[in-house]
Every structure is written in C-alpha cells, then in structure tokens.
Amino acid sequence: MQFGRISWKRVVNHFDTIDRTGFEANVENGIYFPNVLSDIHPTGKMYRFLAVLCLVACGYALDLDDQYCQHQETYYTIYQVPSHNCKCTAKQTGALRYKDGNLQVCNGNEYVNVGGNAGQEAPVGTETNPGKSCRNILTKRKDAKSGMYFIKPRDVVMKTYCYMGTLCGSNGWTMVMKIDGNKNTFRYDSKYWSNKQHYNVAGATGGFNHVETKLDTYSHFPLSKLCLGLETKGKREWKEINYMAGSLYELIADGKFRETHYGRKFWKSMVPDSSLQRNCGREGFNVVKITGSDKRNGFAKVRIGIIGNQENDCHTPDSRIGFGAMGNLCGQNNDNSAGNEARCSPDNGDKTIKSFGYIFAQERQEDALLGSFDKPAKSCKEIVAARPDAKNGVYYLNLRDAPHTRVYCHMTEICGSRGWTIIMKIDGRKTTFKYESSYWKNHNVYNTESIADGLDNSDMKLHTYSKLPFEKLCLGMRVGGSLEWLPVNMGKKVDSLFSVIAPGKYVATHISKNEWRKLVPGSSLQRNCNMQGFNNNPVPSQPAAKVRIGFVANQENDCGSPDSRIGFGGSGNYCGQSSYSAGNEARCDGDNGNKSVAGYGYILAQ
C-alpha cells in the first residue's frame, strides 16, 4: 500500500524488534515508504508496526519504548510536520502543516489550528476571515508583518498589500496603487483613473518594489487619509493628506477638481531638488488649469498634486508635482506620469524628474482623539478641555460648511485662558494685509502651508476667517523679542471675523488707550481723536491713518486727519507715515515722538 505524498521527515529506519523483510526502500529526500503490508511477517510484531504507522499517519509524536529513549544517539523523530505555504483545496483536505506556532490542518478551504487551538476561526486577514482594513488586522494581530492580506471594508472581499510598519506617523496602511513615472500606464488620461478595473494585482506582493499595480482598494476602500510616497533616485519622501471619501475612485473618477490646502512647500518636499513656477499653486485631486482664453490642451495637470504658472493666474500652467500627471507645453515631458516637471521660469530651473509613486490609505478611526481629522472638535477650547495635555499645533475643527477644517490651536495660556484658534498672521513689513487688501473682504485663504509653523513671522489667512464663530479675540504683536497680547471681548457671539470686517462698517471697541499701546513697547500716538475698533477709517476718501483692527489718533481735536495708529491691517501716508500693515506709526506730534515700528501680528479667536 503506497502512502501517497505525506511529507514525513523520517520514519524509524531501524526497528530492532521488527523483521524488515518486505520493505521496499523507496527513498526520496530521506523518506521511507512501506509497501505491501502482507509482506510483513505475520507475527505479533506486525501489530506494533501498525501502531507506529498509525502514529505516523495521525501526525502525533509519542514516546517509543524505553530502549529508544535510552539511546539518544540513535533515536530518530518519528514525524515532523513541515512548515509550508501550499494551497488548501478540497483535494488537499487533511494535509498538515506547522505555521505561526500552531499545528494546522487543511479543512478543504483553508488551514485551521488543531490541538489546543481547535475550533478557533481562521486568523484575521485570511480569505474566510478578512479584516476591515490593514489597520484593523494589525490591531487584532499585533505581530502581523507587512504582506498580502484579505480585507472586507464593506461588501467586497479583496486582496491587498498591508504595510504594518510606520508611514506618515502611523501603522497599518492599505495599498491602493503603485505608479512608475517612466511609464504612461497611469498618466492623467489613463482609463484606470475613471474605471474600477484593477491592474496587475500580483505587482502588489513586492511591497515597495518598482512594479506598477492598481488594486480593488482603489474602488472599494473608504478612506479618511492618504499616505503618498515618491521615490526619487533611491530616496522616498512621504506625506499624509486628510480627505474623507468613499474611495479614491470617488475622489477622482468624475474628473471634478477637489481642493486641498497644503501649499507649495509641502509638495516640493516630496521630490528633492524639485522646481515649480511661483504662481497659481492649485492643488488637490484632478488638478487642471482654470478655464481662460487659451484653449490649448497641453498644460500641466495631475490627478493628485499641484500645478504652477509663471503668470499670476492658473490659466496656463507649465509645471507640476504629483501622481497621474501629463502636459507638454513649454517643453514638458508628457509621459512623466509621477514626479516633477517644470518649464517657463520655475523657481529652481527647468526640471524633468521621474519618480516612483506609492499610494496607501487608511480608514476613519472610531477611537480617534478629539481634534483629529477622524474626530474634529467644535473649537480649540473644547479640545483642551477634553485633553488637558494637548500641545500647540495643528488640529481639525467641525466648522460651518467645513466639517474637517485644518487649524492651528494655541493651547498655552494667553489672554487669560487656553485653547485659541488662529485666524490670521500678519507680517507688518509687507502689504499683503494692508487696509485696502481684498483679503479682508473675501473668503480666499493665503499661505496655508505655514499653518504648522504657529506664531512665526509669515503672512497667513485661514478658513477660520470666514467660518469660525467667536465671542473673544486675542490680539498679539511681536516686536523684537517682545510678544504682547490684548483680549477683545465682542460682547456676543459673532458669525466670523469676515462678518465683522467685510461689510466695511465701523464697529467700536471699548479698551483703554494704554492697553492698545502695550501691544508695542515704547509706542507713540497723537493725543486726540482716539478712535478704536474694527474698520477704523475716519476719513475713507483720504490717505489718513486707518486700521482694520486697532486704534487711530490725531493732533487736532477731531478725527479729520489722523496721522498715528496701532493695530492690524494698517495703512495711511499723511504726515510721512510708512506703509507698515501691522505695528505702530506716529507722526505730527505723537506723544512719544515719531515712530515707525513694524510688528508681526497674530489674530486668534475663541
């Protein structure tokens, strides 16, 4: 009787008490196969052999007679179950293997644990017990390694590559795509962006190798964040993008532009030595030019990324960084599908840099911290109340018509309390936010990439200008090594700072002159007029002193020609004033002499 191909490492090759006549030594990899049982002498010894044979077939290692245990140098293991990755099908039902510290048997569909673990379901991440996501698998299997797993985020079971290490600050990322910038498989005009067809699923098994793939996760994996990677000359750079969607397919397939606000610095850091034209800066998903008079089709575009232009608009972009790219005008390489292309006066010279792109995703986390993208808060104050150890930094708020607004929260105490939300930062040396700037009257944001830099010296305007209701402002002014704060109580909740300033109407405040002066140490103001508040512009038709938020004064006993000011969004040139947009200006008999002090202004709300 031939025993098929059961993988025995060794059958006892010396039965001292069994006559081995009748054995045909079929040796294959050190394995002995007993042939016809009838050839074994019909003595009592046959029953002993049958017992041993039963043990072999059943896969259990039992002690033999003492004589074998006493002679370790000649003792052989009867049977050692091998570790293998063979398929489990109906044909292999009953096959054994030793895997992950468990003895497993094929039940006709998959290998399941036997012995002490009998009756347990298959490990999470297998085809019959898929996880909800790679992160979910890692939560349930702490020792799970990066590799191929089965997941079922909704109704479809799919196979994907899971990276269980750390990327973009967290573990358990689900692979969506890999893109070779040298090929046009996933160029902007590829059908794969608009359909649900997968591509080269086997290419995912190599993890971070350079084999393109598009998995079913593109169409069926609900996401709240992406981890984007670009490998250039052996160096990988990773960036996280937060965006809630049913799948990446839902974000891209319809071709509609969906905006993000991470900034040029964010995208340029993904490709070493990258270059981008200085204007436009349109970024997000399905990024193409804004329709203009030029109807040509070869302008820069990306499925995920940023485009730039040398003119001060987005009508004719000739530079790009990102994934799923194309464009050929001004000498761009139309077949560079991932990486950086820049022509026509970019900031670091003309570039053609082809990279290898990786797109991973994570789902929304139910146990996320308050203030995270997956669990936005109502305000920074709510976050610090729930999390007293929260630090200054970037958080997410659920604001009007913007449920995942990225903000900077100042959690250390200023103006008598903690948990303030930044609205604007103003560099007084620049005119970006001077009184006449259109930014005071529109919803446009400015320089959002500096959000994580906190109270630095850059200009910035966030969505909080238009969307954050508040009752109090905390105004800060940095001059040299001094940073002074002034609380402003509105007396009621207002819809936003936009709602206070954009209409252009004067709104008075009631704070002492000395408190305003404390914002700028050693400041100077004329002695009269003393007008304070929002849209503080006593003489709209003249270039007299004015501020969007602050204090103006005059040497005459009226407000007909003020020549001094302290505050934010300043302007005026009467009597030799400078054009500083934040700080202190005083001319024509200021009470502490003439002053021209540019400050760095901060507007926070609560």
Could you report the per-residue pLDDT of 55-81, keeping only the tens digit for each? Answer: 344 443 334 344 444 544 454 555 678
Q: Tally the domains of the chain.
A: 3
Give the tens place of pLDDT for each residue, 163-222.
999 999 999 999 999 999 999 999 999 999 999 999 999 999 999 999 999 999 999 999
* pLDDT tier, 468 (very low <50, low <70, confident <90, very high otherwise): very high
Give the tens place of pLDDT for each residue, 583-597.
999 999 999 999 999
pLDDT of residue 1: 36
CA distance 530 to 552: 6
113 and 142 belong to one structural domain: no
Would 90 be classed as within a structural domain?
Answer: yes
317 and 173 belong to one structural domain: yes
pLDDT of residue 120: 61
**Cβ partners under 8 Å of residue 367, min gap 6:** none
pLDDT of residue 229: 99
Give the tens place of pLDDT for each residue, 533-572.
999 999 999 999 999 999 999 999 999 999 999 999 999 9
Average the pLDDT over 266-271 and give the result.
98
Q: Which residues of 257-278 are buried (b: 16+ CB within 10 A; e: fewer)?
A: eeebbbbbebbbebbeebbbbe
Would 77 be classed as within a structural domain?
Answer: no
Contact 165, 172 (CB under 8 A): no
Q: In terms of C-beta density within 10 A (0-12 exposed, 13-18 middle, 19 or more buried), how is residue 433 classed?
A: buried
pLDDT of residue 5: 40
pLDDT of residue 94: 87
For every residue of 152-164, DSSP letters joined together read -SSS--EEEEEEE
Q: 478: domain range?
A: 472-605
Give the tens place of pLDDT for each residue, 111-147.
888 765 445 678 999 999 999 999 999 999 999 999 9
CA distance 599 to 4: 87
Which domain-ending residue is among 317, 346, 365?
A: 365
113 and 249 belong to one structural domain: no
Would 66 be classed as within a structural domain?
Answer: no
Rg of the chain over Cα atoms, rounded to whole angstroms, equals 36
Would 32 be classed as within a structural domain?
Answer: no
Mean of per-residue pLDDT scores for the chain = 88
Which domain-ending residue is among 120, 139, 170?
A: 120
Q: In what order do the strands lie in the sheet with 102-106?
A: 96-99, 102-106, 111-113
* pLDDT tier, 333 (very low <50, low <70, confident <90, very high otherwise): very high
Would 353 be classed as within a structural domain?
Answer: yes
Determine the Cα angle at 364 with ends 362 and 370, to 5°: 125
pLDDT of residue 98: 87
Average the pLDDT over 38-50 and give the result.
41
Would 3 be classed as within a structural domain?
Answer: no
CATH number of the domain that residue 332 is part of: 3.90.215
**Cβ partners under 8 Å of residue 309, min gap 6:** 277, 279, 280, 289, 315, 316, 317, 318, 319
195 and 105 belong to one structural domain: no
pLDDT at position 496 over 90: yes
Contact 590, 526 (CB under 8 A): yes
pLDDT at position 16 over 70: no
pLDDT of residue 111: 84
Would 102 be classed as within a structural domain?
Answer: yes
Which domain-ending residue is among 120, 147, 170?
A: 120
Give the tens place of pLDDT for each residue, 363-419.
999 889 999 999 999 999 999 999 999 999 999 999 988 889 999 999 999 999 999
pLDDT of residue 115: 62
163 and 100 belong to one structural domain: no
Q: Which of 68-72, 105-109, 158-162 has the lowest mean pLDDT?
A: 68-72
pLDDT of residue 108: 83
518 and 565 belong to one structural domain: yes
Q: Which two tokens stand for residue 412?
A: 């250390």
pLDDT at position 36 over 50: no
Would 431 be classed as within a structural domain?
Answer: no
CA distance 337 to 354: 8
Percentage of the chain lying above the pLDDT 70 cut: 86
Residue 601 phi/psi, 5-degree rounding, is -100, 145
Residue where the block lists tokens 């006449």 = 436
89 and 130 belong to one structural domain: no
CA distance 10 to 78: 6
346 and 484 belong to one structural domain: no
pLDDT of residue 342: 98
Reduced to 3 states (helix: H, G, I; strand: E, B; else coil), residue 516 is: helix
From the list 586, 471, 566, 599, the residue with the least C-alpha distance to 526 is: 586
Distances (CA, A) of 389 to 216, 269, 371, 386, 412: 40, 31, 13, 9, 10
103 and 190 belong to one structural domain: no
One-letter amino acid identity for 234? G
347 and 492 belong to one structural domain: no
pLDDT of residue 494: 98
pLDDT of residue 433: 99
95 and 134 belong to one structural domain: no
Q: Which two tokens stand for residue 388?
A: 């007293």
Reduced to 3 states (helix: H, G, I; strand: E, B; else coil), residue 193 is: helix
198 and 108 belong to one structural domain: no
